[in-house]
A and B are shown apart, each in its own frame.
Chain A
Amino acid sequence: MEHVILVRYGEIALKGLNRNYFIELLAKNIRNTLWCVPSAKVKKIQGRIIVNVEEEDLKLGMERIQKVFGIVSVSPAIVIDSDIKVIEENAIEQVRSAEGIKTFKITAKRGDKTFPIKSPDLNYRLGETVLDAVAGISVDIHNPDLNLWVEVREKTYMYHEFLKCNGGLPVGCSGKGALLLSGGIDSPVAGYMMAKRGVEVIAVYFHSFPFTSDRAKQKVIDLAKIMSQYCGRIKLYVVPFTEVQTKIVELCPDRQTTIIIRRYMMRIAEMIAAKEGAKALITGESLGQVASQTMEGLGATNAVANLPVFRPLIGFDKADIVKIAQEIGTFETSILPYEDCCTIFVPKHPETKPKISEMIRSEEAIAEMMVDMMATAVENSEIVKL
């Protein structure tokens, strides 16, 4: 008896002529996430992807596949010969071995029209066989404790669990985006959400040693690693940012440093995006969350970007973001108490309504030296592949 995971995709099935491309991509993403399950084999069949795994790898395989975007639901199933005797035996066994059930139902579907029994007849026959064979059980077609699906194709698939997945689009189908990843709660969630819409995420982290320690950097690497379970492999740029940041702190008006620092982060991220062929920037900003995320603040940072800036959390409350962070498993790492480069040099009275013209004027003092400094920062970035 073989074990497989049945993978159902929803939205991508609608994508007209590109359908095959989407399914190929999804299959590839599934293959990639199963690198740690050597027994897994990914196949496409009509309207489904099926993954063959050894029984002992089933749990791990399910866990990995459920995190891949573009999947609506998965079911662990057994594969048996399309022979009515074999089907009957296995149906009995499946119901018998299910624990704590009183009622059941059979949902049989004949996909292979050469199989001699039609769907309704098969339903009826299997129901009766199981009812006779298993003591203390009855049929309930409306609200059964166990719904046993029997799909008769070339082979027969039998399963009773439907596990809902995250939906979305296969990562990679929407192009590449550069995520500004700090060590906080928000940015990993933002990356997750864009990956869900099919974006391949590269991450950019600004490291201000000695103001931020190597533990803060390690924390970001750990976060990217957790994200990669959903987003696929992530290329993380660790940008040496100390020189740029301290120059800004030294030479720009105190009230404006936070915004100006963020403007330079956007510029550097865009340089990396260009290098990587990314077509958008992604940030974890949420309107009004901190002084620099007022509408004016966002406007001032947005003004330096030529690429579209995706801010998937813009309308989210902190509590909602925390909830997602907890669900995807980044929260515990995000709250580790290491400084990130945004919390050092916080001005006492940060500007909450910055004017772009004023920012430009303040940046005049550093603009020239920044050209080289930014190029150096990009060039000296450490690239970590996760």
Chain B
Amino acid sequence: MKEIYLDNAATTRVHPQVAEKMMDTMLNNYGNPSSLHRLGIRAEQAVKEVRELVAATINCQSQDIYFTSGGTEGNNMIIKGIVENKQRSRMRIITSATEHPSVLDVFSFYEEHQIEVVVLGVDEQGHIDLDELKATMNASTILVSIMGVNNELGTIQDLKAIGRIVKQANPNCVFHSDFVQGYMKIPIDVEACQLDALTMCSHKIFGPKGVGAVYIKKGINLKPLLRGGGQENNMRSGTENVPGIVGFGEAIRLRKESYLDELEAIRELRSRLIRGLEDQVADIKVNGDPNGSPYVLNVSFNRVRGEVLLHSLEAKGIYVSTGSACSSHKKEKQYVLKAIGLLEEYKEGTIRISFSKDITKEDADEAVRAIAEAVASLRLLIKARRKK
């Protein structure tokens, strides 16, 4: 049975060239970047190259890039680092209702610590209301954290407009974006967006798990999460994950030239799948913004349970997800769908399909066929029950 992996927003398969490069690093460039001898220098050099590469992709200085263990650490490091560095009596921090749990949970943690936490609601496509943001900004606002691309819906927030509003209202306020689902998929320019901090990660772009990076603009003071040997310019102690970082770099290199073209190809693939579903399945609803990231398709089927549909597709070798993998351990599973006000009868029947360059048109058509078949047989069962 051919496998069609449509859960690329959860994670991706490592590119063989990335794996090769990592293997080579583990076996041949195994030094500790902090070691004084030449093996150390070689490892340091490898990390430095990737640092410069990451910086170039988002338009910043390479000294402003710090390597982490991934998106969750990046978001924690920035939010906690900013908040705990300030000693003011009145502080406000602002985020949105559809953020990843590694942002939302940190915010709600501070809610109990006498910090004014504002969680902006979103419209039915998942966008925040810019006027509401403007109205919410004040002199005591120290941090605004708004994700670039939503992991469940693919909705893209207008970071440029948000940056403008934030900086106009309060130039000292730090503007951060969780860009895990956007990095190397849609373009970003931290300067143009007036971003002070950005979270990126490797395993969503065919790199290894357990590595990511953050951008923190020079001059932004932040209390480190991890203390110790003083690596990463004292911002993130711990021996660098050299093979991981090199793998991350290779993954970026492999996409650097092609990702803008790929974006268009994926957009077509997504439209094709939507058309197919709309043709073959009744009573469905495509959620999010049609002009959002084409890598994510969030679709609801009335009278079907998403989880059961997922397992039915699994049996046909097609892998999708319900909501996001990151929230499947959480109690409040569907907070994103709730935030966009999705009707109850659709909410239960929602799946997320997320694409990669490896998905062909034939795969998409096959997925449509399989979904149509599974939905039909599940609905038949329900119909049989209703009739009685």
Contacts and interface: CB of A to CB of B under 8 A. Distances in A.
Interface of A: 209-213, 246, 249-251, 253-254, 339, 344-345
Nearest to B377: A246
Interface of B: 307-312, 314-315, 380-381, 384-385, 388
B384 A251 contact: yes
6 contacts: A209-B315, A213-B307, A249-B381, A250-B380, A254-B385, A254-B388
Contact of A249 (B308, B311, B315, B385): B385
Contacts of B388: 253-254
A210 B308 contact: yes
Contact of A250 (B307, B309, B311, B385): B385
Contacts of A246: 381
Contacts of B312: 210
Nearest to A345: B385
Contacts of B314: 210
Contact of A213 (B311, B380, B381, B384): B311
Contacts of B380: 250
Contacts of A251: 384
B274 to A, nearest CB: 24
A254 B314 CA distance: 28
Given A213-B311, A249-B381, A344-B308, 8 more contacts: A210-B308, A210-B309, A210-B310, A210-B314, A210-B315, A211-B311, A212-B311, A254-B385
SS of B interface (majority) = helix
Contacts of B310: 210
Nearest to B329: A337
A210 B311 contact: yes
B317 to A, nearest CB: 13
B180 to A, nearest CB: 25
A346 to B, nearest CB: 11
Nearest to A339: B307
B310 to A, nearest CB: 8
Contacts of A344: 308
A212 B309 CA distance: 11
A209 B311 contact: yes
B315 A250 contact: no
9 closest A-B pairs by beta carbon, nearest first, are A210-B311, A250-B384, A210-B312, A254-B388, A213-B311, A210-B308, A211-B308, A253-B388, A254-B385
Contacts of B384: 249-251
Nearest to B316: A210
A251 B381 CA distance: 9
B91 to A, nearest CB: 36
A52 B308 CA distance: 53
A287 to B, nearest CB: 29
Taking each of B307, B309, B311, B380, which has the highest tally of chain A beta carbons within 10 Å of its own beta carbon? B311
Contacts of A213: 307, 311
Contacts of A212: 311
Nearest to B311: A210
B250 to A, nearest CB: 33
Contacts of B381: 246, 249-250
Nearest to B378: A210
A72 B312 CA distance: 50
Contacts of A345: 385
A251 B384 CA distance: 7
Nearest to A245: B381
A246 B381 CA distance: 7
A345 B384 CA distance: 12
B348 to A, nearest CB: 13
A38 to B, nearest CB: 35
A210 B310 CA distance: 8
A189 B381 CA distance: 34
Nearest to B384: A250
Contacts of A211: 308, 311
B68 to A, nearest CB: 30
Nearest to B314: A210
A251 B383 CA distance: 11
Contacts of A209: 311, 315
B316 to A, nearest CB: 10
B47 to A, nearest CB: 38
A344 B304 CA distance: 12
B304 to A, nearest CB: 11
Contacts of B385: 249-250, 254, 345
A345 B381 CA distance: 10
Contacts of A254: 385, 388
Nearest to B310: A210
Contacts of B307: 213, 339
A269 B310 CA distance: 29
A345 to B, nearest CB: 8
B72 to A, nearest CB: 22
Contacts of B309: 210
A246 B384 CA distance: 10
A212 B312 CA distance: 10
Contacts of A249: 381, 384-385
Nearest to A246: B381
Nearest to B383: A250
Nearest to A212: B311
B133 to A, nearest CB: 36
Nearest to A257: B385
A345 B382 CA distance: 9
Contacts of A210: 308-312, 314-315
B308 to A, nearest CB: 5
A158 B312 CA distance: 62
B190 to A, nearest CB: 40
Nearest to A253: B388
A246 B378 CA distance: 10
A210 to B, nearest CB: 3
B111 to A, nearest CB: 26
Nearest to A347: B385
B38 to A, nearest CB: 45
A212 to B, nearest CB: 8
A254 B309 CA distance: 22
